[in-house]
Amino acid sequence: VKERIVQDKGLDHTLKLLEEGYLFIKNRTDRYHCNMFETHIMGEKAICLSGEEACKIFYDEELFQRKGAMPMRIQKTLFGVNAIQGMDNEAHTQRKLFFMSLMTDVHQKELSKLFEKEMEAAAERWVSQDQIELFREAKNIICKVSCLWTAVPFQESEVEDRADDFCSMIDGIGGVGPRYWKGKTARNRTEEWISGIIEEVRQGKLSVKEDSALNLIAFHREPDGNLMELQMAAKELINIIRPIVAISTYITFTALAIYEHPQCREDLLHNDDNYYEMFVQEVRRYYPFTPFVGARVHKDFVWDQYEFKKGVLVLLDVYGMNHDPVIWGDPDRFRPERFQEQKDRTYSFIPQGGGDPAKGHRCPGEGITIEIMKAGLNFLVNKIDFVVPEQDLSYSLSRIPTLPKSGFIMKQIKKTG
């Protein structure tokens, strides 16, 4: 067993994490030429890991647990207190299989069809507008689509505020002060809204499609035979709608990718499903979204000659792995063709977590994300024509989560398809 692991110099690195954002772990694994180091954040020791082998360990359910891993401030904004992200073992598997049953291929197609229809309708409006901001439009459209798909009733006039609340929950994670409070308020308001709707469904006052997420969550029974507690049912339905709304970030980065990488233009015009898939995979790799994921050591074990002690916090570097030269060769080039090579990327390409989603915590919404992104890409390339005016398209790697600053402004929009 190693005497010492690489230590991040200094007492507490919370401020450095806030300053360096997405690059916090990678700056250090690069500096110390290692895939593992020890640091201190938010008053406790944390081991940071990167690389495919480390990822295999991190997703070993016997070695790591999620209970107690997520800071309360993140549960109160992003995830919901005690929801699926913090569950372990049999209870987690049961809940996860239920989530996955809501996201079959048929469900995915249904959702992307709804998305296409709403994008077409939006384009009708855009042609008569001076300019639009893609992020703002996309979050509203996807929020609406996501409510339609899950069968959550809404008024057209409330869509923008609801969409903003879902976005604030996500934005709250990297913020202190006002951003955190905004996220928390948004979560409270949304939980109240959604639990009211679930209650109406349970009481028979509102009847919705039998196989909709709303109906299935409202009447889902826990392993003990009881209905899910109302507040928990609301959190889990939000755990479906909120991340779908978050795909608007990837739609915006997709537009940026088309714009920043004109060398891909020719291939995109051939409209080949295979190339579109590779392109969106490359967007998920190249552009920042999830910075890292966290877990706690479940039982003592030794890996790479280092002794992991029960209870210690461990962070796996998602952003860093997406830009790791060992995994990608030329990580800073945007090159969709790299995905042509068929290989097992279960533990090496992890923009939405690694391992087997049915067994561990990997995101169950990757299929949905890829379908919506492909539909968005097709729309931007084949359905409309537009001009990208002068604007600030830069995105900060020190802000978590991030986005092109201008939100991607488009002008002189014409329908072409």
Which residues here bind ligand HEM, judged by CB under 6 A?
Answer: 84-85, 96, 99, 103, 239-240, 243-244, 246-247, 250, 289-290, 293, 351-353, 361-365, 368-369
- Compare residues 238 and 413 and give the one whose CB is closer to ligand HEM: 238
Q: How far is the CB of 240 from ligand HEM (least distance, A)?
A: 5
HSE, side-chain direction, 13 A CA sphere, residue 66:
22
Helix, strand, or coil (residue 8): coil
Judge if the upstream peptide bond of residue 401 is cis by omega within 30 degrees of 0: yes
Nearer to ligand HEM, 216 or 240 (CB): 240
Determine how β-strand 384-387 pairs with β-strand 409-415. antiparallel
Which residue lies nearer to ligand HEM by CB, 99 or 386?
99
* Euclidean distance between CA atoms 119 and 402, whole angstroms: 24
CB of 34 to ligand HEM, least distance (A): 22
Residue 58 Cβ vs ligand HEM, minimum distance, rounded to whole Å: 8
Closest C-alpha to 311, from 69, 29, 22: 69
In which order are the strands placed within the sheet that holds 293-297? 36-41, 44-49, 313-316, 293-297, 64-65
How far from 219 is each of 198, 210, 228, 231, CA to CA, in Å?
A: 9, 10, 8, 13
The nearer residue to ligand HEM, 144 or 362, going by C-beta atoms, is 362
Q: At closest approach, how far in Å is the CB of 347 from ligand HEM?
A: 11
Would you tell me how many other CB atoms lie within 10 Å of the CB of residue 224?
A: 5
3-state helix, strand, coil split of the chain in percent (to 5) is 55, 10, 35
Task: Find the residue with minimal CB distance to ligand HEM.
Answer: 365
In the complex, least distance from residue 59 CB atom to ligand HEM, rounded to whole angstroms? 7
Q: Which is nearer to ligand HEM, 46 or 413 (CB)?
A: 46
Q: Give the nearest distance from C-beta 89 to ligand HEM in angstroms.
A: 12
Q: Closer to ligand HEM at the Cβ: 126 or 250?
A: 250
Contacts for 119 with CB less than 8 Å, ≥ 6 apart: 141, 375, 376, 379, 383
